[in-house]
């Protein structure tokens, strides 16, 4: 979610390989690779740089997914839309043979070529964001482009975990829809949070007004992303969170997969890698398909899809990729509006039609509105209420938005709660298997444990985007302060089990500079759900996003500047 990327914070011991220019754009004059003479200083070896990922357990919010063990036997049969290929089976022996414990040496000259070629590829194929050092880069397209931060080579992922994550997507899609229909559950679960969290309170007020109006949503569209990490202690894949609003990077994540496939096609023999083990990524095309199908259900050929955006958005090109796909593949037009613009230009007609700037809106697609920062005045809140009162299809509706809160995630993890919404015992078992420990701060024993051993917990507020969670000694300090103050603010947080990931060696490229460090990765699986009354039109897994960051960083947001975009190499 959110805007452009800030500089990745690295430990002082990180090796840096400098490449120019800092800002990469198609119009930049290219300098031949041979002119670059980077100093290859590495703490891993004096003369070589390693691609392998030596295992290091690191207590962390995020998780590296390169463990070689899997809870599910390997199979060539991946779920539909998991990017499977007929060639994958033939490449299995070659790929597995290359996953030994010995390090693969990447000569400095080869690394230099890889980085140079990758930067050129990003510039030519639109794997870009706005450069934060250029004032207009977040408002005017084509101004101040820089490559999106990326991992030079994809992270390894055992196929069993990949298949498990893919299979969970349709189940979570269905769960979100069913929970959204239980207004009492949402209101009751968040009632105490509302008293101490003004932002959640305003969202609940809108939801309450919709309940009072008996405002149902016959056509419901959800574009979700469920994020996971692999725990080295248990070898289990745990869900970190479920995003139901503004699930970012469906466009750029597909380009990263293509970048990795391209690099391995050219240098695979030198790296011992096979490009057929990089799964296809269909996130942007399937998200566009879902939006187009929702538009079609609205049944007004002159209506548009409205993308709700932030005032300044350096990640606009990820959004533009989706809108271009929507137009070119499905013939559906889109417009971009901020919440303030919607308040100024919008109205709901007597029949419920939403009109903004003179155009009828069929689908409202939120890429803003998930953070208090998106509502600096009453104007933005009026816009949100206006859209909810209309008969436009909201992605997400206020109900879907609330289902994605941390508190609801914690409530769903309680015993017997999933059974309230799902009947299939196998589906329930699959969901429970991926739940990490989640507790409210009413649990005195857990709070006591968190104060005594804060390194085993993460304290999470009801916020989306990076930079909000609390780790380490600050967990203890915050809990003690809240207890001493007798503060009701305790209910604004949940405690989550901290994952112990395996750190691996990686190359992270940001602003033309390649950083070597131990890194961990988080896997996100996109999902799309579309329903019209009793008819489920779409319930699919829709591609993937991998975010990788240095193991010393707690947070994991790419747009917030903590991580880089990455891809998958199936083993």
What distance in Å separates the CA atoms of residue 323 and residue 293, rounded to the nearest whole number? 14
Beta bridge partners of 549: 520
The DSSP 8-state label assigned to residue 148 in this structure reads: P
- Among residues 277, 406, 407, 476, which one is catalytic? 406
Closest Cα partner for 398 from 358, 356, 369, 355? 369
What distance in Å separates the CA atoms of residue 404 and residue 421, rounded to the nearest whole number? 15
The verdict on whether 464 is a catalytic residue reads yes
The verdict on whether 225 is a catalytic residue reads yes
**Where is 335: in which H helix or E strand?**
strand 334-337
- Among residues 173, 189, 248, 553, which one is catalytic? 248
The verdict on whether 163 is a catalytic residue reads no
Q: Is the sign of the CA dihedral 284, 287, 292, 295 positive or negative?
A: negative
SS3 at position 33: helix
**Strands (DSSP E) along 466-553, which ranges?**
493-497, 502-510, 513-532, 535-550
Gap between the terminal Cα atoms of the chain: 30
The verdict on whether 243 is a catalytic residue reads yes
- Among residues 53, 220, 277, 460, which one is catalytic? 460
- Among residues 289, 380, 388, 464, which one is catalytic? 464
- Among residues 2, 138, 404, 465, which one is catalytic? 465
Inter-helix orientation angle 283-298/316-330, to 10°: 60
Residue 46 CB coordination number (10 Å)? 8
- Among residues 52, 180, 226, 243, which one is catalytic? 243
What distance in Å separates the CA atoms of residue 62 and residue 501, rounded to the nearest whole number? 7
The verdict on whether 474 is a catalytic residue reads no
Q: Which residues have a Cβ under 8 Å from the Cβ of 251 and sit 6 or more positions away? A: 283, 284, 317, 318, 319, 320, 321, 322, 325
The verdict on whether 465 is a catalytic residue reads yes
The verdict on whether 463 is a catalytic residue reads no
Q: What angle do CA 192, 194, 200 make, to 5 degrees?
A: 140
Q: Which residues have a Cβ under 8 Å from the Cβ of 530 and sit 6 or more positions away? A: 219, 220, 221, 222, 290, 293, 294, 297, 536, 537, 538, 539
Residues with active-site annotation: 225, 241, 243, 248, 406, 460, 464-465, 547
């Amino acid at each position: 979610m959110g805007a452009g990327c800030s500089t990745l914070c690295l430990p002082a011991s990180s090796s840096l390989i400098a490449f120019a220019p800092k800002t990469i754009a198609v119009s930049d004059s290219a300098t031949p690779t041979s002119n670059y003479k980077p100093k290859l200083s590495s703490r891993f070896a004096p003369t070589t740089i390693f691609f392998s990922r030596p295992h290091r357990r690191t207590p962390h919010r995020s998780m590296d997914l390169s463990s070689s063990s899997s809870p599910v036997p390997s199979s060539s049969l991946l779920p539909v839309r998991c990017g499977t290929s007929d060639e994958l089976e033939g490449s299995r022996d070659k790929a597995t043979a290359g996953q030994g414990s010995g390090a693969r040496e990447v000569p400095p000259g080869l690394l230099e070529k890889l980085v140079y070629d990758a930067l050129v590829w990003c510039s030519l194929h639109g794997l870009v964001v706005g450069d934060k050092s250029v004032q207009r880069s977040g408002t005017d397209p084509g101004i101040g482009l820089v490559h999106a931060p990326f991992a030079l080579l994809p992270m390894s992922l055992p196929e069993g975990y990949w298949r498990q994550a893919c299979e969970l997507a349709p189940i979570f899609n269905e769960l979100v829809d069913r929970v959204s229909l239980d207004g009492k559950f949402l209101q009751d679960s968040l009632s105490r949070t509302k008293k101490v969290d003004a932002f959640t309170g305003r969202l609940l007020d809108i939801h309450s007004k919709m309940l009072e109006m008996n405002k149902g949503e016959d056509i419901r569209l959800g574009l979700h992303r469920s994020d996971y990490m692999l725990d080295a202690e248990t070898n289990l894949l745990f869900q970190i969170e479920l995003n139901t609003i503004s699930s970012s990077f469906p466009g750029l994540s597909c380009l990263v997969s293509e970048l990795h496939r391209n690099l391995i096609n050219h240098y695979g023999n030198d790296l011992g890698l096979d490009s057929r083990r990089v799964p296809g990524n269909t996130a942007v095309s399937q998200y566009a398909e879902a939006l187009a199908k929702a538009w079609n259900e609205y049944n007004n050929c002159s209506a548009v899809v409205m993308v709700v955006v932030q005032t300044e958005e350096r990640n606009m090109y990820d959004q533009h990729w989706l809108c271009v796909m929507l137009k070119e593949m499905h013939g559906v037009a889109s417009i971009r509006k901020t919440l303030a613009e919607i308040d100024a230009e919008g109205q709901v007609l007597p029949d419920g039609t939403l009109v903004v700037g003179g155009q009828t809106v069929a689908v409202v697609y939120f890429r803003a509105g998930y953070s208090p920062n998106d509502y600096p005045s009453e104007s933005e809140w009026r816009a949100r209420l206006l859209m909810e009162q209309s008969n436009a299809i909201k992605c997400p509706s206020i109900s879907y938005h609330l289902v994605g809160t941390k508190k609801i995630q914690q409530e769903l993890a309680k015993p017997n709660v999933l059974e309230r919404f799902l009947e299939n015992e196998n589906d329930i078992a699959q969901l429970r298997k991926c739940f990490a420990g989640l507790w409210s701060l009413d649990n005195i024993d857990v709070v006591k444990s968190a104060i005594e051993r804060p390194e085993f917990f993460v304290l999470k507020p009801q916020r989306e985007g990076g930079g909000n969670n609390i780790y380490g000694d600050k967990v203890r300090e915050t809990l003690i302060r809240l207890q001493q103050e007798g503060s009701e603010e305790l209910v604004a947080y949940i405690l989550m089990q901290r994952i112990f990931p395996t750190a691996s060696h990686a190359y992270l490229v940001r602003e033309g500079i390649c950083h070597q460090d131990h890194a961990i990765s988080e896997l996100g699986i996109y999902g799309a759900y579309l329903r019209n009354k009793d008819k489920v039109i779409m319930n699919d897994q829709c591609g993937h996003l991998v975010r990788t960051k240095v193991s010393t960083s707690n947070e994991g947001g790419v747009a917030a500047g903590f991580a880089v975009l990455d891809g998958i190499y199936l083993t």
